[in-house]
Amino acid sequence: MHVTSLLLAWRRLPVLLRAVLAGALATAAGTLPWAFLVAMNVRRTPSVPWSVPITAAYLWVLFRYLRGEWWPASTSEARRRSCRANGVSDGVFGSAVIAGMFGLAALMLFQRVFIRMVHLPPQPVDELRAIPPLSLIAFVIMGSIVAGVIEEVGFRGYMQSPIERRHGPVVALLVTSVLFGLAHYSHRETTLLLMPFYISVGVIYGLMAFFANSIWPGIILHALGDVLGAAQLIATGQAEWQTSPERSPLIWDAGPDASFWISVVLFLVAVAAAVWAYRGLAMVARPLV
């Protein structure tokens, strides 16, 4: 009876609130155990990455559950639908990944413009470089997989898809992308100046999920992007939101030079290319959305 009352109370909540809570819980269920395990691993036995196989097994079980398997059967269909891990054709998958890549390219070019307007914070790297190389590689790969799977399930699946169905894609993208950005405040280097970067990333992955009606393309691109971003950070000390290891003068101090205007033009061209790519994805995936 108590469980039934809880379910009734849950169903009385507004769809938007239920989606936000469900997405946050799904994300926390995947990311917090990994964060705890890898921290313990690095602190006690950094040369043996034992946290990786444990997390891989846990992630496999959690993903299957969030996708609708196992008890309780009464929520299986709702979990499957909310997860949004739907199969897609090769054409849709490829178009979604290409659109996402164009979107990320436009974002990187925006960063070239943005860093001439504000000073963005650096990302600490000394702690990573202190980890033995083989363990570091294992941690980076596992961490990227966790982020790719869980953040897409939590934000673009459980959170975005119910809001889309109730309030439409614009509201869904706005809510999930802002919350995706705020979630990265758990990173110590994150400040308000990084919100445009993270919110834009949320929009890029959110559009992929909306048009493809699947989180699979986003999972692949998200995980791969995190691997490449970590590799860049370790190799150069340059965070993914930085486009140059050296700080360029702000246009407010030195004035906009030729390099700045070239970056603006390239950014606008990249935005046009990304819009074209997403329109192509929408046309390919139209029977699915």
Burial label, 176 (beta-carbon count in 10 A; 0-12, 13-18, 19+)? buried
- Report if residue 4 sits inside a domain: no
In a domain, 271, yes or no: yes
Residue 279 lies in a domain: yes
> pLDDT tens digits, residue range 67-109?
999 988 888 999 999 999 999 999 999 999 999 999 999 999 9
Residue 84 DSSP class:
-
Of the candidates 201, 224, 240, 205, the one whose C-alpha atom is nearest the C-alpha of residue 141 is 224
Structural domain of 19: 12-288
Q: How many domains does the chain have?
A: 1
- Rounded to whole angstroms, the Cα distance separating 116 from 209 reads 32
**Which tokens hold the place of 289?**
């959305």
pLDDT, tens digit, for every residue of 250-286?
A: 999 989 999 999 999 999 999 999 999 999 999 998 7
Residue 52 domain flag: yes
User: Does residue 1 form part of some domain?
Assistant: no
Residue 25 domain flag = yes
Cβ atoms 52, 135 nearer than 8 A = no
5 in any annotated domain? no
Q: What is the pLDDT along the chain (289 residues), one digit of tens a residue?
A: 466 777 778 888 999 999 999 999 999 999 999 999 999 999 999 999 999 999 999 999 999 999 999 988 888 999 999 999 999 999 999 999 999 999 999 999 999 999 999 988 888 888 888 899 999 999 999 999 999 999 999 999 999 999 999 999 999 999 999 999 999 988 777 789 999 999 999 999 999 999 999 999 999 999 999 999 999 999 888 888 886 666 788 999 989 999 999 999 999 999 999 999 999 999 998 754 4
Question: Nearest to residue 177, comparing CAs of 153, 206, 151?
Answer: 206
Q: Is 159 exposed, middle or buried (0-12, 13-18, 19+ CB in 10 A)?
A: buried
The pTM (predicted TM-score) of the whole model is 0.94
Q: Is residue 3 part of a domain?
A: no
- Give one DSSP letter per residue of 30-78, joined into a string: HHHHHHHHHHHHHHH-TTS-THHHHHHHHHHHHHHHHTT-SS-GGGHHH
Backbone angles phi, psi at 201, to 5 degrees: -60, -45
